[in-house]
Amino acid sequence: MTRNSEAATIVAASILAGFGVALVNFAQDRSVDAQTALTFLVFLIAFGGLHLAVRAFAPRATPLLLGPVTALTALGFFEIYRLDIALGQDRASFQRWWMLIAAGLAAVTLLLLNRTTISILRRYRNITLLISLALVLLPNLPSEWGFPLRGLEVNGSRLWVLLDIGFTTLQFQPAELAKLGLVAYVAGYLADHQRALREARRHIGPIRFPEPRQLIPLLVTWGMSVLILISQRDLGASLLLFVGFVLLLYAATGTTGYLVAGGFLGVVAGVASYLAFDHVQRRVIAWLAPFQHYEDEGFQIAQGLFAMGTGSLSGAGPGLGRPDLIPNASTDFIFAAVGEELGFAGTVSVLALFALVVAVGLGIAFRSRDTFRKLLAAGLTFVLAVQTILIIGGIVRLVPLTGITLPFMSYGGSALIGNLILVVLLLRISHEEAT
């Protein structure tokens, strides 16, 4: 596949977004209006501009990544537009602006990235860690104080920061950027201590493990994830952080003992959080018995399952289902909305696109010759994969709901910015390893 093929894929995904909006209008007895053309143009400007930035600043990067990302964003967007019509909202307009902003910031990031700046992330990893921790803890700022920047609690979790700039207010999730810094820190640490972590020198019976001081990062990360859960009541971010780190530790060492130790610590933290926090108990109840608790805890999951069951094989069609009956469908349950209106075929297509993105990311990691870049690409891909598995697994009841969003598809500017920057980091590493 060439850059021209990538451009053609982006154009096709932009047409898909506009065509989806037109189909929703037809289903609602509307005519094709400016929304269709505007959607097509915004996608073409945002992702076409990002494609041009890749041509200019990372021409040897893989052409297999940007196309599937554009397609996923297109599928999510016309479902957001469809939900807006049913609920009387205007989130699609905001999402279009966020696409332009996210693509612009990603292009600027790609412009600033080079071999030196990538190496700086490794050299100054402790500074990166401090900045990332500050971003993660930013939502803990008091909501009552009079400063323009303050924390905000939404649906029982403190994930948001509100910035009052006078004529308007902005809400964003700093953890979406913090996760990138945390991955860079962990990749840098593992690159410098890979040999010590791999060579197990202590024994307990048949079990080998490295020096205890080498396990400190695992314990610190476990403690950080618990701290996030306690301070922000955010099950999703803590799981994403910890699982991603354990997978990256395994990738760096090939030692299954780290998976066992990470799994044990995860179970301990999960049981403790279930016993300590009411909102975790509610999510577990909704996971195990949604229909027995249909009127309260299980309502959202049950409605999502009903929606996907109604969609059957080919779906009701864009604009013809009732995904608006699912609470917070445009953020938490966009996958269920796709399942209802595009059916099993639509959900399989979404899974295939995510599988392609993850496969390309891991391919970049495998081909990287530099240890830090290899681990950075693997870590970024793991974070994306784990986030996808957690939210889709929560919707289909494989795991409890965690409250995180589906990458590229769900409504939200913070997530879109963070995920597109993640993509350009992978593209930059791919370009460097091809030179």
Query: pLDDT truncated to tens, each residue of the chain (435 aa)?
Result: 688 999 999 999 999 999 999 999 888 878 778 889 999 999 999 999 999 999 999 999 999 999 999 999 999 999 999 999 888 888 989 999 999 999 999 999 999 887 777 878 888 888 888 888 888 888 877 766 667 777 777 666 667 777 777 666 777 888 888 888 888 888 888 888 777 777 656 666 666 666 666 667 666 766 776 677 666 666 777 778 888 888 888 888 887 777 887 888 778 878 887 887 777 888 888 888 888 888 888 899 999 999 998 888 888 888 888 898 999 899 889 999 999 999 999 999 999 999 999 999 999 999 988 889 999 999 999 999 999 999 999 999 988 888 788 999 999 888 999 999 999 999 999 998 766
Task: List all residues 6 or more positions away from 175 whose beta carbon is below 8 Å from its beta carbon.
Answer: 135, 136, 139, 159, 234, 237
Task: List all residues 6 or more positions away from 275 whose beta carbon is below 8 Å from its beta carbon.
Answer: none
The answer to whether 391 touches 332, Cβ cutoff 8 Å, is yes
Q: What element of type H or E holds 317?
A: none
How far, in Å, CA of 138 to CA of 149, rounded? 9
Number of helical H runs and strand E runs in the chain: 15, 5
Q: Within 13 A of 109's CA, how many CA atoms are on the CB side?
A: 23
Task: List all residues 6 or more positions away from 119 whose beta carbon is below 8 Å from its beta carbon.
Answer: 372
Edge-first strand order for the sheet with 149-154 is: 149-154, 157-164, 169-172
The answer to whether 433 touches 368, Cβ cutoff 8 Å, is yes
Joined tokens for residue 189? 């640490």
The answer to whether 172 touches 161, Cβ cutoff 8 Å, is yes
How far, in Å, CA of 361 to CA of 351, rounded? 15
How far, in Å, CA of 259 to CA of 165, rounded? 45
Give the position of tokens 């996907």. Answer: 308
Task: List all residues 6 or more positions away from 271 whose beta carbon is below 8 Å from its beta carbon.
Answer: none
Q: Which of 262, 186, 176, 257 is nearest to 219 (CA)?
A: 262
Query: What pLDDT shows up at residue 238?
Result: 77
How far, in Å, CA of 53 to CA of 46, rounded? 11
Name beta bridge partners: 162.
150, 171
- 3-class secondary structure, 152: strand
How far, in Å, CA of 428 to CA of 258, rounded? 30
Maximal C-alpha separation, the chain: 73
The answer to whether 339 touches 347, Cβ cutoff 8 Å, is yes
